Amino acid sequence: MNELNTVTFDFPSRSVNEAFARGAVACFAAQLDMTLTELGDVKTAVSEAVTNCAVHAYPDSIGNIRMRLRILEGGVLEIQVKDKGRGIEDVERARQPLFTTGGEDRGGMGFTIMESFMDTVKVRSRVGSGTTVTMRKRVGRRPAGR
């Protein structure tokens, strides 16, 4: 798929930056003419991905999160959230509902939520090197004169 537009930015893994990431993706995705439901889904998935970085990648420190947003041909929004934190030992296990390494106060539903709101979710991780989550959502064409 050809890329039509892209933006990349870095920010610290502070929990307050989760709201920044949600706002940034909403502004960028506006060019796709998303419905409020689609936009809410994307913002929720981004919240989960960024929160995972803050809680799991850098549990005892502040690290860097890189988010790349792309508009691809065919009305596809691609969101990549990348950290250089501790990585995930077993990605398949981490993607199971209710699995968490974040303690009793974490629900273990992050990947499940991302998968339910996005069309595709790919996770690449190496222990000690970090994790990259790439999510895609295709936005439907709206009828003229809606």
Q: Where are the domains of the chain?
A: 3-138
pTM: 0.85
Q: What is the pLDDT of residue 97?
A: 59
pLDDT in tens, the chain (146 residues): 799 999 999 999 998 999 999 999 999 999 998 999 999 999 999 999 999 888 888 989 999 999 999 999 999 999 999 999 999 887 777 666 555 555 555 555 678 888 999 999 999 999 999 999 999 999 976 555 54
List active site positions.
48, 52, 106
What pLDDT, on a 0 to 100 scale, did the predictor assign at position 89? 80
Q: Which residues are CB-contacts of 76 (< 8 A; sequence separation ≥ 6)?
A: 1, 136, 137, 138, 139
Residue 140 DSSP symbol? P
Report the alpha-carbon distance of residue 79 to residue 68 in Å, rounded. 6
Centroid of chain to Cα 52: 9
> Other C-beta atoms within 10 Å of 44: how many?
16
What end-to-end distance do the CA atoms of the chain give, in Å?
28
Could you tell me the fold of the domain covering 3-138? Heat Shock Protein 90 (3.30.565)
Q: Which helix (H) or strand (E) holds 41?
A: helix 36-52
Query: What angle do the packed helices 17-29 and 36-52 form, to 10 degrees?
Result: 140
Q: Residue 31 has what pLDDT?
A: 92
Sign, CA torsion 17/108/86/133: negative
